[in-house]
Amino acid sequence: MMFRKINRNHRNIDFYTMLQGQKDFRHEYSGQIWVEVMLVKGLNDTEKELHSIKRAVDMIGPDRVYILTPIRPPAESWVEPSGPEDILKAQEIIEKAISVVELETDQFSLEGFTDARQAILEIGSRHPLRSEQAIDIERRFSKSGVIMQMLESKELVRVKYKGEEYLIPGHFRMEK
């Protein structure tokens, strides 16, 4: 099923369980609810799939819907980002949809991190870092050479994706 292929959810959580949970939460929670839709080229960006996504989103009734596509190295090598035309099509079909498909340029908060190594590994575990972002973290801790040591020890691995170089923790293995 599409949901499982994209989300890597727990085996006991299927699409309908997730959808019902979102609907229940919507009825119980009075604050803003935002939904993110990750589009993967050739998987869920067809007109048919977008209409299915729209039906699910309409059942939840979120205040905002964000359309995303992979801009960083994905966990599986077969994953490709949807093109601009497909993102625009999604925005036309899904009401309230806003595209947020661009590289972020903001700095990551380093609050709570004791050193550059810890910050790079922990942030990189959640959010693959472009090389210049990792270098910025190293610079902000005033500790040069950390990235080079991490690359030499294989704590970090260089990955090229869509013309950008990323540094990801070595314990993440990209599927071939």
What CATH number is given to the structural domain containing 82?
3.20.20.70
* Residue 130 lies in domain: 116-169
Q: Which residues contact 156 (CB under 8 A, 6 or more apart)?
A: 120, 121, 124, 134, 147, 150, 167, 168, 169, 170
CA dihedral of residues 88, 91, 94, 99 (deg, nearest 10): 120
Other residues' Cβ atoms within 10 Å of the Cβ of residue 22: 17
- Looking at the structure, tell me whether residues 17 and 77 fall in a common domain: yes
Joined tokens for residue 141: 């801790």
Q: Is residue 62 part of a domain?
A: yes
Q: How far apart are CA 174 and CA 168, in angstroms?
A: 10
pLDDT of residue 130: 87
Residue 7: pLDDT band by 50, 70, 90 thresholds?
confident
Q: Is residue 106 part of a domain?
A: no
- Residue given tokens 């989300």 in the structure block: 7
Of 53, 70, 99, which residue sits at a domain end? 99
34-38 and 129-130 strand pairing: unpaired
The per-residue pLDDT of the chain, averaged, comes to 87
Max intra-chain CA distance, the chain: 52
- Looking at the structure, tell me whether residues 26 and 95 fall in a common domain: yes
Q: What is the mean pLDDT of residues 144-168?
A: 89
Q: Is residue 161 part of a domain?
A: yes
Q: What is the mean pLDDT of residues 29-36?
A: 94
Q: Is residue 11 part of a domain?
A: yes
- Looking at the structure, tell me whether residues 57 and 141 fall in a common domain: no
- CATH number (domain holding residue 159): 1.10.10
| C-alpha to C-alpha distances, 41 to 24, 46, 82, 87, nearest whole angstrom | 30, 9, 4, 10
pTM of the shown model: 0.66
Residue 104: pLDDT band by 50, 70, 90 thresholds?
low
What is the DSSP-derived secondary structure letter of residue 108? P
Q: How many domains does the chain contain in total? A: 2
Of 53, 73, 99, which residue sits at a domain end? 99
Q: Is residue 109 part of a domain?
A: no
- Looking at the structure, tell me whether residues 94 and 12 fall in a common domain: yes
- Looking at the structure, tell me whether residues 92 and 16 fall in a common domain: yes
